[in-house]
């Protein structure tokens, strides 16, 4: 049986996320064991996220993708470790670095790529683009461009599940910059007071845009912000699927029991800039290489081979399968139509015949 690692950590002294500095202090049983199939699933999911993002970056450089584009490369273990715990009826909401979250929640690569191309076949009908992925079917509720705007929405989605009497939870992701927003504190207070089944996840990649955590706050151990509300709050090594899985297991089980929210600070790292327009000159090449040496995909790749779960040939087959999926999504996006101009007037109101006035 796998175990939950409840972790402590040193204070951040610079801009990098100290995933490697996390210390293990206690252990308790985890009812979500990690199997061979889990490792295979993690590998395939993370390779899809990585290859899709790499291709999106290339297409952005070719100006086939317009607007903003925030890549998730390096942070894949956070989503993979989450998906091995939650189910299809659980909800996810996040900020604008959302391509990988959408893919992990089950939205097809075709729909995500088409949305990046602003095509009508995209998951948001071409109206949202990179920052506003959405799928009611897959219970993926964005994709939000306003920093921290998704935090109260995530609690609201979870509150609706509690009100309806389900066992479903909502996982609400945010960046390290979003914890400076007032809505963060207001939501944490209400979530604890009403025991809302929400898991708040701060994906701390060390930098809010180009500003290091240490330059924005005296409390560089972000998880401690939840302790003021007596919310169970822990730092987690976000570069390892196993650690993410264990922490999420405990948090999800707590929420399903009706015991309320948990705050997890996933200490991770993005290899690319904040967005495609960011040269990331605020950090050193050595710092980036330090984290690439702990790459989550390579770690799972090594485990698959060391434990003889898969052969190198089988891994190559997965890589080719993913490559084919990504290339198919590009062809699909390029061949799809743009939305008709009349679409400007749809999806504006829930009531389809709402009597607004056209000038």
Answer yes or no: is 247 within a domain: yes
The domain total for the chain is 1
What tokens does 270 get?
A: 């993005």
Answer yes or no: is 358 within a domain: no
Q: Which long-range contacts (CB under 8 A, 24 or more apart) does 332-336 make?
A: 332/110, 332/113, 332/114, 332/121, 333/110, 333/113, 333/114, 333/116, 333/117, 333/119, 333/121, 333/122, 334/64, 334/117, 336/114, 336/117, 336/119, 336/120, 336/121, 336/122
What tokens does 300 get?
A: 């799972």
Give the separation between CA 296 and CA 271, rounded to whole angstroms.
Answer: 12
DSSP H helices, the chain, are 36-61, 76-83, 99-104, 109-116, 150-164, 182-193, 241-257, 285-292, 296-306, 312-335
Give the separation between CA 84 and CA 227, rounded to whole angstroms.
Answer: 27
Q: Kindly report the number of other CB atoms within 10 A of residue 277's CB atom.
A: 9
Taking residues 109-117, report their average pLDDT: 98
Q: Is the pLDDT of residue 199 over 50?
A: yes
Q: How many CA atoms lie within 13 A of 265 on its CB side?
A: 32
The pLDDT tens digits of the residues spanning 44-73 come to 999 999 999 999 999 999 999 999 999 999
Taking residues 3-20, report their average pLDDT: 38
Residue 11: pLDDT band (50, 70, 90) is: very low
Cα torsion angle, 108, 114, 117, 120, sign: negative
The pLDDT tens digits of the residues spanning 85-103 come to 999 999 999 999 999 999 9
CATH at 322: 3.40.50.970
Answer yes or no: is 353 within a domain: no
Q: Is the pLDDT of residue 1 over 70?
A: no
Task: Give 350 or 115, the one with higher predicted confidence.
Answer: 115
Residue 279: pLDDT band (50, 70, 90) is: confident
| Domain ranges, residue 95 | 3-345
Give the separation between CA 359 and CA 347, rounded to whole angstroms.
Answer: 18
Q: For residue 50, count CB atoms less than 10 angstroms from its CB and return exposed for 0-12, middle for 13-18, buried for 19 or more.
A: buried
Q: Kindly report the number of other CB atoms within 10 A of residue 294's CB atom.
A: 16
For residues 77 and 238, is the Cβ–Cβ distance under 8 A?
Answer: yes
Task: Give 211 or 14, the one with higher predicted confidence.
Answer: 211
Parallel, antiparallel or unpaired: strands 3-8 and 23-29: antiparallel
Answer yes or no: is 99 within a domain: yes
The pLDDT tens digits of the residues spanning 317-328 come to 999 999 999 999
Residue 354: pLDDT band (50, 70, 90) is: confident
Give the separation between CA 204 and CA 165, rounded to whole angstroms.
Answer: 32
Give the separation between CA 116 and CA 184, rounded to whole angstroms.
Answer: 29
Q: Can you give the pLDDT at residue 134? A: 96
Answer yes or no: is 357 within a domain: no
Average pLDDT, the chain: 90
What pTM did the predictor assign?
Answer: 0.89
What tokens does 173 get?
A: 């992701």
Answer yes or no: is 354 within a domain: no
For residues 123 and 134, is the Cβ–Cβ distance under 8 A?
Answer: yes
Answer yes or no: is 298 within a domain: yes
Answer yes or no: is 85 within a domain: yes
For residues 331 and 323, is the Cβ–Cβ distance under 8 A?
Answer: no
Q: What secondary structure does DSSP assign to 143-204, as a single string?
A: ---STTTHHHHHHHHHHHHHHHT----EEEEEETTGGGSHHHHHHHHHHHHTT--EEEEEEE
Q: At what angle do helices 312-335 and 296-306 cross, to 10 degrees?
A: 140
The pLDDT tens digits of the residues spanning 14-52 come to 344 444 444 344 455 557 899 999 999 999 999 999 999
User: Based on C-alpha coordinates, what's the Rg of the chain?
Assistant: 20
């Amino acid at each position: 049986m796998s175990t939950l690692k409840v972790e402590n950590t040193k204070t951040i002294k610079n801009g990098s996320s100290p995933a490697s500095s996390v210390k293990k202090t206690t252990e308790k049983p985890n009812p979500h064991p990690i199997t061979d199939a889990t490792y295979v699933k993690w590998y395939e999911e993370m390779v899809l996220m990585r290859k899709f993002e790499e291709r999106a970056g290339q297409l952005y450089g070719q100006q086939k993708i317009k607007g903003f584009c925030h890549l998730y490369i390096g942070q894949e273990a956070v989503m993979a470790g989450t998906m091995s715990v939650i189910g299809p009826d659980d909800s996810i909401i996040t900020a604008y670095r959302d391509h990988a979250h959408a893919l992990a929640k089950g939205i097809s690569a075709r729909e995500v790529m088409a949305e990046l191309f602003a095509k009508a076949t995209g998951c948001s009908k071409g109206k949202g683009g990179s920052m506003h992925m959405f799928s009611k079917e897959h219970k993926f509720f964005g994709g939000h461009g306003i920093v921290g705007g998704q935090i109260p929405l995530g609690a609201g989605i979870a509150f609706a599940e509690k009100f309806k009497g389900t066992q479903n939870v909502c996982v609400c992701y945010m960046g390290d910059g979003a914890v400076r927003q007032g809505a963060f504190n207001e939501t944490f207070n209400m979530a604890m007071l009403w025991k809302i089944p929400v898991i708040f996840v701060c994906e701390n990649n060390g930098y809010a845009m180009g500003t290091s955590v240490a330059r924005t706050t005296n409390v560089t151990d972000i998880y401690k912000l939840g302790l003021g509300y007596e919310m169970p709050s822990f730092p987690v090594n976000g570069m390892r699927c196993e650690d993410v899985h264990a922490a999420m297991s405990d948090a999800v089980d707590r929420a399903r029991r009706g015991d309320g929210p948990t705050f997890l600070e996933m200490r991770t790292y993005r290899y690319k800039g904040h967005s495609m327009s960011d040269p990331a000159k605020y950090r050193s090449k050595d710092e980036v290489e330090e984290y690439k040496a702990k790459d989550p995909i390579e770690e799972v790749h090594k485990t698959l081979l060391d434990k003889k779960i898969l052969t190198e040939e089988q891994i190559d087959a997965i890589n080719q399968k993913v490559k084919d999926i990504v290339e198919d999504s590009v062809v699909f996006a390029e061949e799809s139509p743009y939305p008709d101009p009349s679409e400007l007037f749809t999806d504006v109101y829930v009531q389809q015949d709402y009597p607004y006035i056209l000038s």
